[in-house]
Amino acid sequence: MPMRTKPKPRTVASTAVPHGGRKKTLRLDQNLLDRARQALGARTETDAVTRALEAIVRREQQAQGVRKLASLGPIDAARIAD
């Protein structure tokens, strides 16, 4: 008879949440979170964190675009349509 091994216990670092994200446990500065929520016009803390992360990703994408544009050389004003 083959020897049966005990199944390993499952540990879950995060669980799925309805909006397609993952539930996380984070230690955040409450005052900073409140200020971000107000600045972003977010209704919930989760919305504030999501909007802040999206803004950071968007800013990095814009910076990459500017770097790529700058690598193309000087802009010829004559080629820009009004």
Residues 22, 16: contact at Cβ < 8 Å? yes
Residues 14, 23: contact at Cβ < 8 Å? yes
Distance, CA of 66 to CA of 72 (rounded, Å): 10
Distance, CA of 33 to CA of 46 (rounded, Å): 10
Identify which has the larger pLDDT, 35 or 74. Answer: 35
Determine the pLDDT at residue 47: 95
In this prediction the pTM is 0.64
Determine the pLDDT at residue 20: 75
Whether pLDDT at 63 is above 60: yes
Whether pLDDT at 74 is above 60: yes
Q: What is the pLDDT of residues 16-60, one digit of tens each?
A: 455 678 899 999 999 999 999 999 999 999 999 999 999 999 999
Residues 24, 31: contact at Cβ < 8 Å? no
Long-range contact set of residues 52-61: C-beta below 8 Å, sequence gap at least 24? none
Q: Where are the domains of the chain?
A: 28-72
Identify which has the larger pLDDT, 1 or 79. Answer: 79
